[in-house]
Chain A
């Protein structure tokens, strides 16, 4: 049976789409057949993060309404043959589909794919309800900021109320320098507050911005964040991977100065 994972956050702008794209690519690189579905109708973005915006012909709504076959709407990724995108519609809004239609869609996709990743829109309205309807796992993305954590807590409550079987946390945009100074909440602080299992932590890394500019997710590539995303994917597959030490890979000089600071 395939895993249907919804990536959600409550608050906008914390990195849901980036996380979805990178986990999708990472799982595909680990030889799983993966589809990433953009469920943000009216505000699609997963296509640009993956660099596939010029290849869209049909979208999610076309599939649901039966105006095209599933195969016609799926777009193969540039980097990895195992990864596909089902883009969202830009001209409709969230009320264009129902949770029942989403469940049907994910069931159809699960015949073809090992992993179905649903990129959820921000908010807790119809779009959220649609996105979580078909999922059997949830990844909650947050950043170490009060606003994002508050919304994540609300989302976790709603997921629990909807009896989501598994909820795991990804903490994005961590800055080790600020955490060391005590000016940013740490991974431990955030997991303690939200009290859900941690799936992974992503450092605030300019490589992510560059990758998004280029439309090529960086999962697995030689950067701290690329490595962190790869670790998340391995954990999703059930491997025990220890948390990455974001301070480690910095060259001799910084490492030395780190020792003296202690």
Chain B
């Protein structure tokens, strides 16, 4: 998920988000990566996901997972047959 040309501040931010999420939940960073991969995999069955931009965060106050899953393109192009609600 990392790219050699990426700015180091973004690399640091992504590493920290993953690390802190796993530490707040007291599970391993590997588990978090696996969870993220599973979520991407699940959504990918239906829509083309921009995998490198997927982000899963844990909100401590409300005990909530927040997943941001950007798609490759607008849903109407990528998944014909599924009517989108706006």
Interface residues of A (CB under 8 A from B): 144-146, 149-150, 153-154, 157, 160, 179, 181-186, 189, 193, 195
**Chain A positions within 8 Å of B7 at CB level:** 181-183
A130 to chain B, nearest CB (A): 24
* A154 partner residues in chain B, CB cutoff 8 A: 23
Chain B: residues with Cβ within 8 Å of the partner, total of: 15
Interchain CB contact under 8 A, B9 and A153? no
Taking CB atoms, residues of chain A closer than 8 Å to B17 are: 193
Contacts of B12 in A (CB 8 A): 145-146, 185
Q: Which residues of A contact B23 (CB under 8 A)?
A: 150, 153-154
Assembled-state Cα–Cα distance A157/B15 (Å): 19
Measured CB to CB, the closest approach of chain A to B29, in angstroms, equals 12
List the B side residues contacting A179 at CB < 8 Å. 9
20 pairs of residues in contact across A and B, judged by CB atoms under 8 Å: A146-B15, A146-B16, A149-B20, A150-B16, A153-B20, A153-B23, A153-B24, A154-B23, A179-B9, A181-B7, A182-B10, A183-B7, A183-B9, A185-B12, A185-B13, A186-B9, A193-B13, A193-B16, A193-B17, A193-B20
Nearest-Cβ distance from residue B32 to partner chain A, whole angstroms: 14
- The reply on B64 being an interface residue by CB < 8 A is no
CB B83 to nearest CB in A, in angstroms, measures 35
Whether the pair A182, B13 counts as a contact (CB closer than 8 A) is: no
Are the C-beta atoms of B9 and A184 separated by less than 8 Å? yes
- The residues in B between 1 and 28 inclusive whose CB is less than 8 angstroms from any CB of A are 7-10, 12-13, 15-17, 19-20, 23-24
Q: Which residues of B contact A182 (CB under 8 A)?
A: 7-10
